[in-house]
Structure 1
Amino acid sequence: MSTKTAFITGTTSGFGLAIANRLASLGCNLIITGRRRERLETEAADIRSHYGVEVLPLCFDVRDREVCRQTVESLPERWKQIDLLINNAGLAAGATPVQDGDIDDWERMIDTNVKGLLYISRFVIPLMVKRKSGHVINISSIAGVEVYPSGNVYCATKHAVNAITKGMRIDLLKENIKVSSISPGAAETEFSLVRYHGDQEKADAVYKGIVPLNAEDIADAVEFIVTRPPHVNINDILLTPVRQANTYVYHREG
């Protein structure tokens, strides 16, 4: 693919890190974002060294609307030519029945998964509209398709991502901007460790008896989406481990 610029949120681990490396391997220059400055700077240096592309690391929290606005608006002019927006930043926090839910966890998920995605999209997409060219990929989840026990608010946020994606696709149709989503099933990254607030035993139990997806599987999906011909748009890719049928039915070994 010709040299493009990709803006990727949540790149300090997991899907975001794998996607950043994959797009760099395809020759893309990158704007990478995250909240962990040291990791972000290290990642930027590693990608520059390995792939010879330009990388602009930006340390900020997508939950902060004003910082999102200022960050995008203050980009050097050459970095405003954004071809790909990967809305990857997201998380699950807690897994309890709704009547026992931690409201702080709810707000953290809503602010990151829904509002953060909207903030970044609102400030980046107009740059694409000016050029009548671009591609938005929202990282959703199988939880945006089906709800599972104690997944209530997390599932709601990912249902919102799917609805926003469909709305974007309609709104941006006349602007020649592609809109896609990727909906992974069980994937072993930092996801479950964050969800269970650092409880490694609980996090490991999620994947017991199955071979889960990994970050490279999601990077594969991104690569497939962005390398289609100009007349083709992949609306959504839903992928799961072989031993996962839906959000809560697994066949576990042992």
Structure 2
Amino acid sequence: MSVFNSSRLQDKTVLVTGASVGIGAATAILFAKAGSNVILAARRKEQLEAVKEQCIAAHKQSGVQAGGKFATVKLDVSDKKQIDSLLDNIPEDLKKIDILVNNAGFVLGVERVGEISDDDVEAMFSVNVFGLIKLTQLLVKDFKARKTGHIINLGSVAGREPYAGGSIYCATKHAVKAFSGALLREVVDTPIRVTEIQPGMVETEFSVTRFRGDKTAADKVYEGLQPLVAEDIAEEIVWAASRPPHVNIAEVFVLPVNQASPTINYRGAK
């Protein structure tokens, strides 16, 4: 708990998308430890309920008296109607959201331009870009009215530097970076904070999804080095959220010590 000032997060209500696994799940649990109320949103309801139980346990173990309210919402951020009705599905005492963590996102395949299916292009943009923007637009209106709020978007090293075999994913994360930067400028006359977290290699289900369930291929991505894990990124997210109200961490670019870019790394360390 020494990595952030948890007292600033007590009784804050946090909405985390993609909270059923990986970075989203780890982030929800860490906010729970800090005494926040957490709304866990994702497509997989059963897994969400399991993470919710971990949040409850983490909150009890922390001994923090504040917060401790948790709710799960089945949400596919690529479905506009589901986002439109999101607030109707959140318990009344959690509707005043303080922090939005736009974590939902994924990558499919390593095909090169000319070989990428339209369905894969649409799927990645629908979740990584369109869903993030629509959910942000839904909540930023309330943030402005209440003169509070923090939007934390999950970007990527892929949003800083493109690489072969990742054209569509890189394009989506460049869009997230541009959107986050524009939003930061648009709310400069408000107390609303905007943060983009840009991880490098993080070993989660991410690569398994990219390789369409081929875990052997996914494991090779991290061979020979120690990648980041979900909890590493969760710490950065919660740390950024725990800064004093007048402090905005606009960007956090975090890599494993043996990675310097999407294609430059050292694989003799493990």
TM-score range, shorter chain: over 0.9
Contact 1:80 1:127 in 2 (8 A): no
The offset of 1:77, in angstroms, is: 3.7
Partners of 1:14 and 1:67 lie apart in 2 by: 22
Residue 71 of structure 1 deviates from its aligned partner by: 1.3
- Residue of structure 2 in register with 1:86 after alignment: 101
Q: Is the CA contact (8 Å cut-off) linking 1:30 and 1:55 kept in structure 2?
A: yes
Is residue 107 from structure 1 mapped to residue 137 from structure 2 by the alignment?
no
Deviation (angstroms), 1:172: 1.6
1:186 aligns with 2:235: no
TM-score for both structures, normalised by structure 1: 0.96
Matches within 5 A, 1:19-98: 19-52=27-60, 53-98=68-113
Correspondent of 1:139 among 154, 175, 195: 154
Provide the rounded CA distance (Å) in 1 between the counterparts of 2:252 and 2:38: 23
* Alignment counterpart, residue 15 of structure 1, candidates 4, 8, 23: 23
Contact 2:73/2:89 (<8 A) preserved:
no
Mean Cα displacement is larger for which, 240-249 or 186-195? 240-249
Q: CA deviation at 1:223?
A: 2.1
Instruction: Give distance in 2, aligned partners of 1:77 and 1:55.
Output: 12
User: 2: distance between equivalents of 1:186 and 1:180?
Assistant: 19
- What is the correspondence of 1:116-195 to structure 2 with a 5 Å cutoff? 116-195=131-210
1:130-173 deviation per Cα after TM superposition (whole angstroms, max 9, x unaligned): 11001010010000000011110100000000001011111222
Alpha-carbon distance in 2 for matches of 1:239, 1:71: 31
Q: Distance in 2 between matches of 1:141 and 1:103?
A: 23
SS of 1:243's equivalent?
coil
- Of 218-227 and 107-116, more deviation after overlay is shown by 218-227
Secondary structure of residue in 1 paired with 2:201:
coil
From 213, 227, 230, the counterpart of 1:212: 227
- Answer yes or no: is the 8 Å Cα contact 2:196–2:250 preserved in 1: yes
Cα distance in 1 for residues equivalent to 2:89 and 2:120: 31
Calculate the aligned-residue CA RMSD, in Å. 1.3
Superposition deviation, residue 211 in structure 1 = 0.4
Cα 1:243/1:197, change in 2 over 3 Å? same
- Is 1:5 aligned to 2:20, yes or no? no
Aligned-partner SS, 2:85: helix
Q: Is the 8 A contact 1:33 1:59 kept in 2?
A: yes
AA aligned to 1:160 is A
Q: Is the 8 A contact 1:141 1:182 kept in 2?
A: yes
d(CA) in 1 for partners of 2:18, 2:150: 18
- Identity percentage of aligned residues: 39
Give the Å deviation of 1:76: 4.0
Aligned residue number for residue 3 of structure 2: none
Please say which of residues 23-32 and 67-76 is displaced more in the overlay: 67-76
User: Contact 1:32–1:40 (CA<8 Å) still a contact in 2?
Assistant: yes
The whole-number CA distance in structure 2 between the counterparts of 1:102 and 1:13 is 26
Indicate conservation of the 8 Å contact 2:29/2:58, yes or no.
no
Q: Does structure 1 retain, via aligned residues, the 8 Å contact 2:71–2:91?
A: no
Question: Which residue identity does 1:189 align to in structure 2?
Answer: T
Checking the alignment, whether the CA contact within 8 Å between 1:72 and 1:124 is kept in structure 2 is no
Task: Tell me the amino acid that sits aligned with residue 230 of structure 2.
Answer: A
Structure 1 residue 44, shift from structure 2 partner: 1.4
Deviation at 1:73, TM superposition (A): 4.4
Distance in structure 2 (CA, Å) of the matches to 1:73 and 1:54: 17
